[in-house]
Amino acid sequence: MSIGEMNFFQRMVYIIQEYSGSLLKGAATTMAIAIVCTFFGCVIGFAVGLLQTTEPHKGSGPLKRGLLKAVKVVLTAYVEVFRGTPMMLQAAFIFYGMSQLFGINLGMWSAAFIIVSVNTGAYMAETVRGGILSVDPGQSEGARAIGMTHFQTMVNIILPQALRNIMPQIGNNLIINIKDTCVLSIIGTVELFFTFRSISGALYMYFEAATVTMAIYFILTFVCSRILRAVENRMDGPADFNLATTDTLAFTSGMTRYDAQKGGTH
Amino acid sequence: MDEILKIEHLVKTFGTNEVLRDIDFSVSKGDVISIIGSSGSGKSTLLRCINLLEDATGGHILFHGEDILGGDVNEDSYRTKVGMVFQSFNLFANLNVLDNCMIGQVKVLKRDKEEARATALEYLAKVGMAQYIEAKPRQLSGGQKQRVAIARALVMNPEVLLFDEPTSALDPEMVGEVLDVMKDLAASGMTMLVVTHEMAFARDVSNRVIFMSDGRIEEDGDPATVFSSPKSERTRDFLSRFNS
Ligand SMILES: Nc1ncnc2c1ncn2[C@@H]1O[C@H](COP(=O)(O)OP(=O)(O)OP(=O)(O)O)[C@@H](O)[C@H]1O
Ligand SMILES: [Mg+2]
């Protein structure tokens, strides 16, 4: 059967059969960029969000205060610029700017990772800032009252709760990144959208290729959002708790890590 | 007697609002001092200044004779010796009851985990919460939360424990269980500074009552004297509102 005689479904099957390799490779590239960049975006976001919510220590001199202030201004500029311009242009700006101004050829992969991470970081910074502020300040006072330092309080008390609070936004960012890596096709990154364009260009089957690619994008984002939901539920821990019995208490004041026997009927 | 804290000429202003004006008193080992007074008189601010949660504007706070407002005192290690229990509990929401009572010991006092666990269990048993070690704060009632918060402060082996209206956020039926824990503590010789509206506690449990009004100490004496023959007009006014 020639391509001309195929119906819509047969053409889709044809695309999948002929191009499964490049589609999978494109999907893998897209996922790799999205996952790695969401991760580094979170790291950047936590660093920036933490700095932006840091108040100068009351004992610190004008130099330290000035420095903190300057750092905050720079970070705010970063956040505003990268949230306020299209990622596609950022990609072109960084990729071509680096080679034209500094003669640095970033290479497709490093350019892709840098651009998406830095872009995600700008969004995450605001999210993290909100997440930190959403943890009630009483807990910080509770921690200070038992002598914990600001750093210990942040790491052990505030950030874990901020992280939990912003998990939905992190998931959102991952999904946005899965879709938005398509703008990297402007610098030649062979991800899923780039693959779609090659296939549709080669076969002149735009509708079929679009359908197949959309289905792949949807599967990727849907699976990710389910996984993240499961992670959130895990972070919440069990909805109920077991009362410790006198036996387990006597046991635990000894040498082993406390591990309550989970309720069971056998 | 063994003097632990001495507050001298303590002043605190918020902007132009003079909240504490020349506060003077001292706390000796084993004292159970109730601080009473109407809303806005500066009781919380006083405790927060003593715990360094607020910076005093002027005056001195001497801890065993050493001025902790002097600047070269390690604030964090001072705070471990002066514990605080808050009206709103302020438990760590991400940690279970046991970890709430272990984290300070492990991170601040650098106790090893086994010792910290044993100490936590000991004090949780004292406040009747040992069974709940696996629970998260959100799974507890107000009274239970406050008892855990008291245990969290006690595990640090503080020399003084500050309480800021520990029962004010509780439903009436839970006030008793927290007050009982505090009575036991007082009986065991713990040095306590308690801001409270529970006049029965102030009268029956404490050995000294301080009445604050408008940022000043208006009355400072043993409960019998303060309650039956107060010196100042304001104290009489305040107390009459409770007796009616
Ligand atoms: N952070 C703050 N900034 C500005 N003013 C404050 C601050 N904290 C307290 N104040 C003011 O200080 C005064 C005393 O407050 P404080 O909380 O110490 O009173 P209180 O005696 O504990 O009252 P209550 O019985 O209602 O708890 C009030 O006028 C209050 O408005
Ligand atoms: Mg108060």
pLDDT score of A119:
93
Closest residue by Cα to atom 30, ligand 1, is: B40
Residues of A with Cβ-Cβ distance to B118 under 8 angstroms? 253
Do B90 and A156 make contact, defined as CB atoms within 8 angstroms? no
pLDDT digits (tens, 9 = 90+) for A29-73: 999 999 999 999 999 999 999 998 888 876 678 888 899 999 999
B191 lines ligand 1 (CB under 6 A): no
Residue A156: predicted pLDDT: 95
* Two structure tokens written together for B88: 């709103």
**Percent above pLDDT 70 for chain A:** 91
- Average pLDDT (B231-239) is 88
- Cα–Cα distance between B85 and A145 in angstroms, integer? 9
Report the distance separating Cα A108 and Cα B9, nearest Å.
Answer: 68
Mean pLDDT of B80-85: 95
A86-95, A137-146, A183-192, B219-228, range with the lowest pLDDT: A183-192
* Inter-residue contact A213 to A23 (CB < 8 Å): yes
Who has greater pLDDT, B129 or A205?
Answer: B129
- Amino acid identity, position A162: A
Q: How far is the CA of B40 from the centre of ligand 2 (A)?
A: 7
- Distance (angstroms) between ligand 1 centre and the Cα of B45 equals 6
Stretch among A193-207, B43-57, B101-115 having the lowest mean pLDDT: A193-207
Which ligand number lies closest to the CA of residue A141? Answer: 1
Put simply, whether A237 touches B (Cβ < 8 Å) is yes
The pLDDT, as a whole number, for residue B152 is 97
CA of B39 to the centre of ligand 2 (A): 7
CA of A260 to the centre of ligand 2 (A): 39
Candidates A146, A159, A242, A251, partner chain B, best to mutate (most B CBs within 10 A): A146
Q: How confident is the model at residue B133 (pLDDT cuts 50, 70, 90)?
A: very high
pLDDT of A264 > 60? The answer is: no
What's the pLDDT score for residue A240? 83
- Is the distance from the beta carbon of residue B35 to the nearest atom of ligand 1 less than 6 Å? no
Q: State the pLDDT at residue A246.
A: 61
Contact residues for B51 (Cβ-Cβ < 8 A; gap 6+):
A145, B79, B82, B84, B162
Contact B132 A241 (CB under 8 A): yes
Residue B198, pLDDT score: 92
Q: Is the pLDDT of residue B217 over 70?
A: yes
- Ligand 1 pocket check for B119: Cβ under 6 Å: no
The response to whether residue B40 sits with its C-beta less than 6 Å from ligand 1 reads yes
Average confidence score pLDDT of chain B: 93
Subunit contact A244:B95, Cβ cutoff 8 A: no
C-alpha separations of B11 from B18, B21, B24, B67, B82 in Å? 8, 5, 10, 15, 20
Q: Which residues of A touch B55 (CB under 8 A)?
A: 58
CA distance A13 to chain B (A): 50
- Using CA atoms, how far apart are residues A69 and A63, in angstroms rounded to an integer? 10
Query: What ipTM describes this predicted complex?
Result: 0.91
Out of A170-179, A256-265, B60-69, B162-171, least confident range:
A256-265
Cα-flanking dihedrals φ and ψ of residue A61, to 5°? -80, 180
> Measured between CA atoms, how close is B206 to chain A, in angstroms?
23
Interface of A with B in 130-159 (CB under 8 A): 135, 138-139, 141-149, 152, 156-157
Averaged pLDDT, A162-184:
91
Give residue B104's identity as a one-letter amino acid code.
Answer: G
- Cα A35 to chain centroid distance, Å, stands at 6
Q: Does residue A259 surpass a pLDDT of 60?
A: no
Would you state the pLDDT for residue A257? 42
Is there a contact between A29 and A191 (Cβ–Cβ < 8 Å)? yes
Q: CB distance B90–A240 less than 8 Å?
A: no
> In which band, very low, low, confident or very high, does the pLDDT at B230 lie, cut at 50, 70 and 90?
confident
Q: Does A259 touch chain B (CB under 8 A)?
A: no
Shortest alpha-carbon distance between residue A140 and chain B (Å): 8
CB proximity A59 to B under 8 Å? yes
The answer to whether the beta carbons of residues B203 and B227 sit under 8 Å apart is yes
Taking 3-state DSSP, the helix, strand and coil percentages for chain A, each rounded to the nearest 5, stand at 80, 0, 20
pLDDT bin (cut points 50, 70, 90) of residue B243 is low
Q: Which residue has the higher pLDDT, B58 or A104?
A: B58
Atom of ligand 1 nearest to the CA of B37: 21
Q: Which atom of ligand 1 is nearest to the CA of B46?
A: 18
Taking an 8 Å cut-off on Cβ atoms, the answer to whether B134 and A241 are in contact is yes
> Which among B75, B57, B52 is positioned nearest to B162, based on CA atoms?
B52
B208 close to ligand 1 (CB < 6 Angstrom): no
CB atoms within 10 A of CB B12: 22
State yes or no: pLDDT of A192 exceeds 60: yes
pLDDT tens, position by position, A95-119 = 888 888 888 888 878 888 999 999 9
Rounded to the nearest angstrom, the distance between the alpha carbon of B48 and the centre of ligand 2 is 10
**What average pLDDT does the structure give for chain A?**
86
Tens digits of residue pLDDT in A63-105: 888 999 999 999 999 999 999 999 888 888 888 888 888 888 8
| Cβ-Cβ contacts under 8 Å, A141 against chain B | 53, 86, 90
Find the mean pLDDT for residues B49-54: 94
- Mutation site, B44, B81, B94, B154, interface A, largest A CB count within 10 A: B94
The model carries a pTM of 0.85
Helices (H), chain B: 43-50, 75-81, 97-107, 113-126, 142-154, 172-187, 199-204, 223-228, 233-243
Which of A3-12, A135-144, A188-197 has the lowest average pLDDT?
Answer: A3-12
What pLDDT sits at residue B17?
93
How remote is the CA of residue B168 from the centroid of ligand 2, in Å? Answer: 10
| Rounded-to-integer distance, Cα B119 and Cα B117, Å | 5
Touching check for A61 and chain B: CB below 8 Å?
Answer: no
Q: Is the CB of B215 under 6 A from ligand 1?
A: no
One-character DSSP codes across A223-234: HHHHHHHHHHHH
Average pLDDT of span A189-217: 88
| pLDDT above 70 (res A2) | yes
Q: Confidence band (pLDDT; 50, 70, 90) for A202?
A: confident
